[in-house]
Amino acid sequence: MSEPPPDRGMRRARVAAAGTAAVLFAAVGALLGLTTPWNPLPGHVPGGHTAADRALDFTPAEIARSKAFDSALNPPAYSGLLVGLAVVLALGLSPLGARLIGRAAARVRRRPLRVALAAVTLTTVFRLAGLPFDVWRESVLRRYGLSTQSWPSWLADQLKSLGVTWVIYTIALLLLYAVIRRFPRYWWAGAAAGGLVLVIAVSFLYPIAVEPVFNKFHPLPQGRLRSDLLTMAERDGVPVKDVLVADASRRTTSLNAYVSGFGSTRRIVVYDTLLKSPPARVESIVAHELGHAKRDDVLWGTLVGALGVAGALCLLQLLMTSPWLLRRAGVRAGPGKDGGAADPRSAALLLALVTVATQVGTPVQNLVSRHIEARADAHALDLTRDPGVFVSMQHELSVRNISDLAPNPVEYLLWLTHPAGPARIAMARDWARMHDVPVPPPLRSP
């Protein structure tokens, strides 16, 4: 079979796609460079910065437990990541994936149905490949008393999450393949615009469409804590209609709180596991979440993320129209309307490229996230002016969640969205020195 003749129009389209990707990535880089709080606690710290030292506040037993938990969790985490990547690359960079989709959709003539079947088949295979490692991880959580779920209820969660993935991938692929077919040369423009809109829509709808699939939420009941939290939000100038409690205890003993959505779907959620902590500590956590709300961190993260996704979709056209990659993926490159990237069997190559791009983006995302989290911590300290309570809450968080107290550089790159507990505690001591407030003494008596 001979190569199709070089297509000058296509070449021009590819140059435009590459140029647009460069502009979008430069914009993301500039926005992150300029708006990330690289120094989350600005100002002079009398006596210099406090060094993070876990031995000040954590007992040898607590440190040992954290180390043991970390070494138990690392094997399933790393092997799961590697096997997942290997499977997705094997499917996408060899004809295996195209063959698999071809077989799954063998009797289906209608194109949209073939695309949907490709989405469902690939995401299911990918999830099945990860399942043994998820079971492994869950059994570690169980051994350490962090999971409160029965296996059937855990499995139900996995199925629900697979269902959500099916819906999101099917919608995204249906739109993408429709654009590819309609605009064989300039689909990157439609895909980039569509990707931008889709990321924003998903982030907006997530709290009302996806979160209720996994948890029940109810307003924090009337009482002292509720009125204190709402008064604090008002003092902070953050409009908060409600604080919601998630029934997390049916799944975990760990503590957490978060903000999700933006605009009319923005909500502050605390885990019900947190409500057993002293009210002042809960206030300290909610003050951190108010920091996110006040800075609109979710909206900002969504907008920058959406620009990055748009840039990645421009690059996607360059890769998906590469005859070499298409040949590797077992998809015939051709001038026809249904060949090459437009063939739904190219979805395996697509998933491989998307997975690699996501993996490459993770360390950057984590780096930026850790600084935004530290800024929310600084906000909590400014608002509550109680570093002592902040320190005891961070200690409780680290101990109850068995957090890694001394992550290594690879763990920072791959997994850490928040600064480690000892660093957060050290920052509270810096804050106290800067504001002439008594510096919280070490939690361990010397």
Stretch that binds Zn ion, among 172-180, 242-250, 336-344, 372-380 (CB under 5 A): 372-380
Q: In the complex, what is the shortest distance from the CB of residue 375 to Zn ion, in angstroms, rounded to a whole number?
A: 9
Comparing CB distances to Zn ion, the nearer of 170 and 398 is 398
Could you say which of 73, 240, 376, 391 contacts Zn ion (CB under 5 A)? 376
Residue count at the site for Zn ion (CB under 5 A)? 2
We find the least distance from the C-beta atom of residue 430 to Zn ion, in angstroms, to be 18
Cβ of residue 207: shortest distance to Zn ion, in angstroms?
A: 16
Given the rule CB under 5 A, which of 62-70, 108-116, 338-346, 371-379 is the region that contacts Zn ion?
Answer: 371-379
Phi/psi-derived region of residue 230, left when phi > 0, alpha when psi is between -120 and 50, beta in every other case = alpha
Identify the burial level of 338 via C-beta atoms within 10 angstroms of its C-beta, where 0-12 means exposed, 13-18 middle and 19 or more buried: exposed
270 φ, ψ (degrees, to nearest 5): -115, 145
Pick the stretch among 184-192, 272-280, 368-376, 426-434 that binds Zn ion (CB under 5 A).
368-376
Q: Contact at 8 Å (CB) between 398 and 361? A: no
CB of 418 to Zn ion, least distance (A): 7
**Contact characters 340-359, Zn ion, x per CB under 5 A:** --------------------
State the amino acid at position 431 in one-letter form.
W
Residue with tokens 């490159």: 333
Question: Nearer Cβ to Zn ion, position 198 or 380?
Answer: 380
**CB of 189 or CB of 282, closer to Zn ion:** 282
DSSP-H helix ranges across 144-223? 151-182, 187-209, 211-214
Q: Where are the alpha helices (DSSP H) in 267-346?
A: 279-294, 297-320, 323-328
Stretch that binds Zn ion, among 23-31, 237-245, 335-343, 366-374 (CB under 5 A): 366-374
Tokens encoding 375: 């800024």
Closest CA to 140 of 63, 67, 81, 74: 74
**Cα–Cα distance list, 120 to 70, 117, 124, 205 (Å):** 34, 5, 6, 22
**Hey, which residues between 191 and 210 contact Zn ion (CB under 5 A)?**
none
Interacting span for Zn ion (CB under 5 A) from 130-138, 148-156, 197-205, 375-383: 375-383
Distance CA 97, CA 309 (A): 24
Please state, as a whole number, how many other Cβ atoms lie within 10 Å of the Cβ of residue 105.
21
Question: Cβ of residue 401: shortest distance to Zn ion, in angstroms?
Answer: 14
Q: Supply angle C-alpha 214, 116, 184, rounded to 5.
A: 125
Residue 270 or 376: the one with the smaller Cβ distance to Zn ion is 376
Q: Are 25 and 308 in contact (CB under 8 A)?
A: yes
Closest separation in Å from C-beta 314 to Zn ion: 31
Q: Residue 205 Cβ, how far from Zn ion at the closest point, in Å? A: 21
Contact 368, 32 (CB under 8 A): yes
For Zn ion, which stretch binds (CB under 5 A), given 125-133, 191-199, 331-339, 365-373? 365-373
Instruction: For the CB of residue 380, give the shortest distance to Zn ion in the complex, in Å.
Output: 9
Q: How far apart are CA 342 and CA 182, in angstroms?
A: 9
Q: Of 185, 232, 161, 213, nearest to 380 (Cα)? A: 232
CB of 373 or CB of 386, closer to Zn ion: 373
Cβ proximity to Zn ion, 331 vs 376, nearer residue: 376
Residue 40 CB, nearest approach to Zn ion (Å): 12
Query: Would you say 274 or 376 has its CB closer to Zn ion?
Result: 376
Question: Which residue number, 117 or 255, has a Cβ lying nearer to Zn ion?
Answer: 255
Lookup: tokens for 86: 């290997």
Q: What is the rounded distance in angstroms from the CA atom of residue 408 to the CA atom of residue 15?
A: 41
Among residues 310 and 376, whose Cβ is nearest to Zn ion?
376
Taking the complex as a whole, the smallest distance from the CB of residue 285 to Zn ion amounts, in Å, to: 9
Stretch that binds Zn ion, among 66-74, 162-170, 331-339, 370-378 (CB under 5 A): 370-378
Would you call 59 helix, strand, or coil by DSSP?
coil
Check residue 270 for interaction with Zn ion (CB under 5 A).
no
Cβ-count burial 282-316 (b if 16+ within 10 Å, e if not): bbbbbbbbbbbbbbebbbebbbbbbbbbbbbbbbb
Amino acid at 381: L
Closer of 104 and 393 to Zn ion (Cβ): 393
Q: Residue 280 carries which side chain, given as an amino acid letter?
A: A
Cβ 203 to Zn ion, closest distance in Å?
16
Task: Closer to Zn ion by CB, 116 or 298: give it.
Answer: 298
C-beta closer to Zn ion: residue 114 or 375 = 375
Note the residues at the interface with Zn ion (CB under 5 A). Answer: 373, 376
